[in-house]
Amino acid sequence: MKSFMKNVLAMLACSGLALTMLAGCSAPDETKKEEVKQAIKVGAILAETGGASFLGGPEARSMRMMVEQINAAGGVNGQPIELIIKDSAASPDKAISFAKQLIEEEQVLAILGPSTSGESMQLKSICEQAETILISCGAAEVIVNPVAKWVFKTPQTDSFAAMHIFAEMNKMGIDKIAVLSGNTGFGKAGRGQLQKIAPDFKITILEDEVYDKKSTDLSAVVAKINANKDVQAVINWSIVPAQAIVAKNMRQAGMTIPLFQSHGFGNVKYIEAAGEAAEGIIFPSGRLLAADILADDNVQKATLVKYIADYESKYAPEQASTFGGHGFDAIMILAKAIENAGSSDKAKVRDAIENLQGFPGTGGVFNFSATDHNGLAMDAFVMMTVKDGKFVLYHQ
């Protein structure tokens, strides 16, 4: 029995080798012939389940919806898009193996996602080596700085978010703050940006605490910050559920100083999770949350209103969030680039993304260049706050 299995395995291995060699020889001819009718394979690695599902879920749903719409309208350049979504559950290990599978077995044109910054950093070098386009939905600036030839990202950069927060503090006359952050890729990157940029705005970080991403109660840390009477405001840079917990614990401890959150706060679920404690939280966000109050001549307005209406009618009662918007931007940028390139050749599409100018997405107006693989400027953010359980513009 054992030797039989060994034989079978050996045969499998040999045939596998032979196949890959054959594929290696014949691939270039075949793709040229079949390009017209073949679907364009696009991979996506998103955290549909697990701790970052509030990112990956809306991203995956937005991408599925847009691919349906694109294919119903006849595809891109006459070719339909075949979207293969893999659920990484926010685990970098899974993201890596899925990326290898998508690149080697599925031979995808591009990988969209992953949802988190930590995973994106793992895939940066893999996609770079395999010369496969990666359009990340992670927020950290390190994903595109330093620029990697094949790596792009759609969410607004965390340094811009930090600058918006600090500029707001300057206006409010706040110069001594406490920083809380989660130990995720997003939290670490944000904390780094805050520390780096704070001196430019003459702001001193008095307390700097990092908590575990799975923390369920932060009252001890909040107590420590509360004990330091010089602290004038708190910035929390993390992902759910800690964002709601910080707010709750601060109010329970009787703290009244302003709480700033990162641009990761832009999902109405967090308001629900924090309840009354969410009132008055100030945070930078893309314009998606303010779509209905934008001026009619705003270039993003049409895109935003349509995306929100489509998403909310398809996935009701779920509300559209900025995170779903990152997924929307990723697939739409890719589709636009394929259209502009007039082909689904990896290198041509990559060049087309890099040359994309004035493309209105949900996160802002994208102007890519060889040195900027995010393409968003600082004005992609506006300051928002929570009032009566709803997101509203901070300055009105």
Partner 1 sequence: MTLELFTQYLFAGITYGIIYAIVAIGFNIIYNTTGIINFAQGEFVMLGGMIAISLNGLVPLPVAITIAVILTMLIGGLIEIIFIRWLRSPSVLRLIIITIGLSILIREIALHIWGDTVRALPYFTGNVISSLNILGAHISPQVLWVIGVCSVMVVLLSLFFHFTSLGKEMQACASNRIAATLCGINAKNMVTFSFMLSAAIGALAGCVVSPITSSQYDMGTGLAIKGFTVAVLGGLGNSMAAVVAGILLGILEAFSIAIGFPLAFQDAISISILLVILFIRPNGLFGSAVSAGLKDF
Provide the binding-site residues for partner 1, judged by CB under 8 A. Answer: 49-51, 53, 183, 209-212, 214-221, 223-224, 226-227, 240-241, 244-245, 248, 251-254, 269, 273-277
Closer to partner 1 at the Cβ: 92 or 360?
92
Count, in order, helices (H) and strands (E) of the chain: 12, 14
Separation CA 122–CA 184 (nearest Å) = 13
Say if residues 165 and 386 touch (Cβ distance below 8 Å).
no
Rounded to the nearest whole angstrom, what is the least distance from the CB of residue 204 to partner 1 in the complex?
Answer: 18
Nearer of residues 30 and 217 to partner 1, judged by Cβ: 217
* Residue among 71 and 215 whose Cβ is closer to partner 1: 215
**Which pair of structure tokens corresponds to residue 241?**
């559920």
Q: Which is nearer to partner 1, 139 or 240 (CB)?
A: 240
* Smallest separation (angstroms) from partner 1 to the CB of 331: 23
Residue 272: other Cβ atoms inside 10 A: 11
Instruction: Give 68 or 208: the residue with its C-beta nearer to partner 1.
Output: 208
Smallest distance, partner 1 to C-beta of residue 181, A = 9
Q: Which is nearer to partner 1, 53 or 303 (CB)?
A: 53
Query: Between 179 and 291, whose beta carbon lies closer to partner 1?
Result: 179
Give the up-direction half-sphere exposure of residue 93: CA atoms within 13 A in the CB hemisphere. Answer: 0
| 153, 112 Cβ separation under 8 angstroms | no
Q: Which is nearer to partner 1, 248 or 373 (CB)?
A: 248
Give the C-alpha distances (Å, rounded to integers) separating 95 from 90, 99, 138, 140. Answer: 8, 6, 13, 17
Instruction: List residues bridging with 180 in a β-sheet.
Output: 209, 236
Tell me how far apart the alpha carbons of residues 241 and 277 are, in angstroms, rounded to a whole number: 14
Q: Which residues contact 35 (CB under 8 A, 6 or more apart)?
A: 79, 343, 344
- Judged by beta carbon, residue 300 or residue 322, the one nearer partner 1 is 322
Tell me how far, at minimum, the Cβ of 219 lies from partner 1, in Å.
Answer: 5
User: Residue 201 to residues 157, 165, 174, 276, 391: CA-CA distances in angstroms?
Assistant: 18, 10, 10, 31, 27
Structural tokens at position 391: 């997101």
DSSP string over 312-348: HHHSTTSPP-HHHHHHHHHHHHHHHHHHHHTS--HHH
Residue 346's nearest CA partner among 42, 66, 120, 76 is: 42
Interhelix angle 301-314/322-341, rounded to 10 degrees, is 120
